[in-house]
Amino acid sequence: MYGTSWCSDCRRAKQFLSDRGVNFVEVNIDEEPDAEELVLQVNEGRRKVPTIKVGDRFFACSPFDPYQLSSELKIPLNK
């Protein structure tokens, strides 16, 4: 998951994933310029966070949408 430390949508996405036992790696794009470039590239020049990578596919979950996240990751909406 690509995000920032100050992003409330990122915090909500992390909590959503953690609550469901989903393992993920967090990459802070404010600290890694290459990661920021990747986020810009996969989001048509927009710095959208959180941007999540699943396999070879990327999607932005900004604003945070639990329905989208559960659908994209094929995980339960409710705990």
All structural domains of the chain: 2-73 (3.40.30.10)
- What mean pLDDT is predicted for residues 2-15? 97
Q: Name which of 69, 28, 67, 72 is nearest 38 in CA terms.
A: 28
Three-state secondary structure call for residue 71: helix
Is the Cβ–Cβ distance between 38 and 45 less than 8 Å? no
Segment 42-53, tens digit of pLDDT: 999 999 999 999
Q: How far is CA 4 from the centre of its chain?
A: 10
Three-state secondary structure call for residue 15: helix
pTM: 0.92
Tokens of 21: 């036992």
**Residue indicated by tokens 């986020």:** 39
